[in-house]
Amino acid sequence: MYYGVGMEVILTGTGSPIPDANRAGPSTLLKAGDTHILVDCGRGVVMRLAGAGTMPPFLAAVVITHLHSDHVCALNDVLTTHWVMTQGNGVLKVYGPPGTAEFVERQLHALERDIGYRIAHHEPLTEGPRVQVTELNPGDSFAINDVQVTTAATMHEPVAPTIGFRFEHEGKTAALVGDTIPCDGVDALAADVDVYVQTVVRRDIVEQIPNVMLQDILDYHSGVVEAAQTATRTGARRLALTHMVPAPTPEQYPEWIARAGEHYSGEIIIGDDLTSISL
C-alpha cells in the first residue's frame, strides 16, 4: 500500500499496437497518495491495474491523450468493471480530447445488451454505467482531488488534437505526454519534472524494416534519441520510455539506455509492464 506522500508512476502497459504476449497496450497509472489516475486504456489495462494494486472503482479519473485505438481499446472493460464493482453507485470520470464523449457514448451503446442483462439479473443495478466525461482543449488546467493537472497540445498529426498531461502533487511532478514528436507543448509539460514519460520508437531499427505502415509511424512518434534530447532540454530529472516499438527483450534494455544516454545524463527508466517509479 502507498500512504499519503509523494507520487508513484507505474508503467501498466508498455506495449504498442503490435501484439505482445508480455506487454499490455499503452497505459500508465499515477498514484498520488490515495488518488489513482489512469492515463490511457490500452489492451489488457484492467489486468495490469490489478497487478499495480488498484481496480477501476478506485480510479479518481481516467485521462486520455488521444483516440487512437491502441490507447482506448480497453476503456470498455474499465467502464463495465467500474460499474459492476461499484454496484452501479460509482461515477467514472473521464477526461479526454474532443470526441471522447461520443466515443464513450458509442462504447455504452455497444455494451447495451450486456447492460440490459445485468440490470435484469442484479437488483442493485438499476441503470447503466454512470460516466462523467469532460472534453479538454489543449492548455486547460484542472484538479483531480489534490492533484493539479495541466495540459498542452502535442503533435501526432493527423490525429488532432492530442493532449499531453503534467501532474503535480505535494511538490512532485510527472509529465505523461502520449504519442508525439518533440514540440513546444511537450517542452512546457516536461519542464523540470521529476519524471518525463515518453512513448517511443527506435527510429534506427524501424527504418530497416521494409513495411510501409511501419515506416508511417516514424513521422508522428518520438524516437529514443529525440525523447532523450527533450529530457535534456527540459531539465527532466528522469526519463521513462514506454510504448516501445519494436519491443525490446530485457537483454536489449542496456542498449536502449545507452542510446538515450548519449543525449541525456539523468536517470533513464525502461522495463517490463508494472515497472514502478517512486517520486
What is the set of active-site residues? 70
- Cα separation, 268 vs 92, in Å, equals 33
Q: How far apart are the first and last CA of the chain?
A: 15
Confirm or reject binding of residue 70 to Zn ion (CB under 5 A): yes
- Cell numbers of 252, please? 536489449
Q: Which of 177, 168, 190 is nearest to 35 (CA)?
A: 168
* Beta carbons within 8 Å of 216's beta carbon, 6+ residues apart: none
Give whichever of 82 and 243 is closer to Zn ion, judged by the CB atom. 243
- Smallest distance from Zn ion to CB 243, Å: 6
Task: Reduce the DSSP state of residue 181 to 3 states and report it.
Answer: strand
Q: Using CB under 5 A as the criterion, what x/- string covers residues 93-132 for binding Zn ion?
A: ----------------------------------------
Where in 28-57 is the site for Zn ion (CB under 5 A)?
A: none
Strand partners, 277: 9
Q: In angstroms, what is the minimal distance from the CB of 69 to Zn ion?
A: 9
In this complex, which beta carbon is closest to Zn ion, that of residue 68 or of residue 238? 68
CB 121 → Zn ion: shortest distance, Å?
A: 37
Residue 238 contacts Zn ion per CB under 5 A: no
Give 117's contacts (C-beta < 8 A, 6+ positions apart).
none
Q: Given candidates 77, 168, 179, 273, which one binds Zn ion under the rule CB under 5 A?
A: 179
Minimum distance between the CB of residue 216 and Zn ion, rounded to whole angstroms? 11
- Location of C-alpha cell 502507498: 2
Residues 6+ apart with CB under 8 A from 118: 84, 125
Between 7 and 159, whose beta carbon lies closer to Zn ion? 159
Q: How far apart are CA 119 and CA 128, in angstroms?
A: 8
Segment interacting with Zn ion, rule: CB under 5 A, options 98-106, 133-141, 179-187, 262-270: 179-187
In the complex, minimum distance from the CB of residue 275 to Zn ion, in angstroms, rounded to a whole number: 18
Cα three-residue angle 193-196-200, rounded to 5 degrees: 165
Task: Give yes or no for residue 68 binding Zn ion (CB under 5 A).
Answer: yes
Residues 127-156 within binding reach of Zn ion (CB under 5 A): none
Q: Which is nearer to Zn ion, 27 or 35 (CB)?
A: 27
Cβ proximity to Zn ion: between 179 and 273 the closer is 179
Who's near 113: CB < 8 A, 6+ residues apart? none
Residues that bind Zn ion (CB under 5 A): 68, 70, 179
